[in-house]
C-alpha cells in the first residue's frame, strides 16, 4: 500500500514524534507510508484547502472526524483489505487542525472515521492512527500482533 497521513501543523513534541516513528518503521514491511504536514492556519478553510491540494483523484480518502463512523480494528482491517482487493492501494488519512475538517474535506472523503467518542489533540492522533493502520495491516497479513 501507499499510505499518506496528511496532518495540519508541525509536530514538535518529541515523545509524539518518537512514537509515530516507531509505527512508521514497522509499517515499512507493508508498503510506503509517510506523514506530510500542511501549515496550520487561522481558519479551517485554509487548512482544508492545503489538505485537499495534496490529494490525487485516485486516493482513497479517510478523514478522521469526531462525527465519523466508529469501527472495530477488525472492521477497519476488512475495509482496507476490501479496497486493496479492488485496486485502491493509494490511501490518504486526513488529520485536521484544532477546528477539525470543513464540509469540503468531508465531502471529498470516502470515509469519515472516528477513532473514539472522546476528543484527542490533533498531534496525538498521528501515532494513534499509525498504530491502528499497523494493527490492521498486520492482522490482514496474519501476523499475531492483534488479539481479539
101: which 3 cell numbers? 475538517
pLDDT of 120 reads: 86
Q: Are 130 and 7 in contact (CB under 8 A)?
A: no
Which grid coordinates are listed for 71? 469501527
Contact in structure between 73 and 118 (CB atoms under 8 Å): no
Residue-level pLDDT, tens digit, the chain, 148 residues: 899 999 999 999 999 999 999 999 999 999 999 999 999 999 999 999 999 999 999 999 999 998 899 999 999 999 999 999 999 999 999 999 989 999 999 999 999 999 998 888 889 999 999 999 999 999 999 987 766 7
pLDDT of residue 74: 95
Domain regions of the chain by residue span: 2-140
The reported pLDDT for the residue numbered 146 is: 62
Cross-strand bridge partners of residue 4 = 34, 92
Output the pLDDT for position 144: 77
Q: Name the superfamily (CATH) of residues 2-140.
A: SPOUT methyltransferase, trefoil knot domain (3.40.1280.10)
Going by DSSP bridges, is the β-strand pair 90-95/32-38 parallel, antiparallel, or unpaired? Answer: unpaired
44: how many CB neighbours lie within 10 A of its CB? 19
CA 146 vs CA 23, 72, 74, 135, 141: distances in Å: 14, 12, 9, 6, 11
Amino acid at each position: 500500500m501507499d499510505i499518506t497521513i496528511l496532518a495540519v501543523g508541525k509536530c514538535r513534541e518529541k515523545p509524539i514524534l518518537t512514537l509515530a516513528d516507531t509505527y512508521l518503521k514497522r509499517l515499512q514491511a507493508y508498503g510506503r507510508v509517510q506523514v506530510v504536514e500542511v501549515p496550520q492556519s487561522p481558519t479551517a478553510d485554509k487548512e482544508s484547502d492545503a489538505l485537499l491540494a495534496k490529494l490525487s483523484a485516485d486516493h482513497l480518502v479517510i478523514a478522521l472526524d469526531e462525527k465519523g463512523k466508529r469501527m472495530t480494528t477488525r472492521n477497519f482491517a476488512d475495509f482496507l483489505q476490501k479496497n486493496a482487493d479492488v485496486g485502491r492501494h493509494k490511501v490518504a488519512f486526513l488529520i485536521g487542525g484544532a477546528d477539525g475538517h470543513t464540509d469540503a474535506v468531508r465531502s471529498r472523503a470516502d470515509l469519515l472515521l472516528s477513532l473514539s467518542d472522546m476528543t484527542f489533540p490533533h498531534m496525538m492522533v498521528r501515532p494513534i492512527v499509525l498504530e491502528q493502520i499497523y494493527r490492521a495491516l498486520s492482522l490482514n497479513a496474519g501476523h499475531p500482533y492483534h488479539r481479539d
